[in-house]
Amino acid sequence: MSIDVTGGRARALWQELAAAPDAAFGTPGVCVSPHSSLAPPSWVGVVTLGDTALITAPTDRAAAAVRTALDGLPTTRLTDPATVTGLLTVSDTLGPATLAYLTPEDLRPPASTGTPTEQLPSGHAALRALSEEAGETDAGESGLEEITSPVFVVRDGRARVLAAAGYAHWPRDTAHLCVLTAPDARGGGLARRVASEATVHALAAGLLPQWRARPAASRRLAAALGYRELGAQLSVRLA
């Protein structure tokens, strides 16, 4: 699967999530869609892939304001909060988050360390304990509670989960990766191990692995596994 095919699958995913019959990537493409999943309800959602962009707005009035304000901007600036908030009257933003995808030939699994990984079902008590240990912000960022696949974990000698990864099934045969590591276990390569297992599982099922990241550490982890950043996502609440 080439990176061009991967990009095409990613565009098809976000066009479906836009929930509008006229949703299409353009320079940029702006459509009215009150049920869009590109952003929280009533927000404006911006997704860029390559040199194209797709923007959804909840109302005709909001869409007109966005078209007027953002027309002619380079794609890279459409997901820059400083640029967007300087051109639109905004009360809040979410993001930006990078969107990275992986082809099977690009996967770079880590070297084996001899410590085994295990599989747990989503919702397992040990995973809830990991989320509580990591804290609300990190746990929410990880999306661990959204996992629908088996959850790949590394434990310590006390059965405590140190790192966990799996994926949520998204439309268009997409596997949205979710990874979380205990605060005192970070930096030792555990996240890469469990994320690699989850990615391999997704590829074996014929799914497109997607990695959405805001923290720099998460972006570095994705790159180490072979994910390529193809775009970004920004959500904006107009005042």
In this predicted model, what pLDDT tens digit does every residue of 177-226 receive, in sequence order?
999 999 998 888 999 999 999 999 999 999 999 999 988 999 999 999 99
Let me know whether 120 and 219 are in one domain: yes
* Residue range of the domain that includes 176: 104-229
Find the Cα–Cα–Cα–Cα dihedral 50, 210, 169, 171, rounded to 10°.
10
In this predicted model, what pLDDT tens digit does every residue of 101-132 receive, in sequence order?
999 999 998 887 667 889 999 889 999 999 99
Let me know whether 111 and 217 are in one domain: yes
- The burial of 32, by beta-carbon neighbours within 10 Å (0-12 exposed, 13-18 middle, 19 or more buried), is given as middle
For residues 142 and 114, give the distance between their C-alpha atoms in angstroms, rounded to a whole number: 26
Let me know whether 144 and 195 are in one domain: yes
Tally the domains of the chain.
2
Let me know whether 70 and 127 are in one domain: no
For residues 57 and 43, give the distance between their C-alpha atoms in angstroms, rounded to a whole number: 7
Let me know whether 109 and 65 are in one domain: no
We report the CATH number of the domain holding residue 209 as: 3.40.630.30
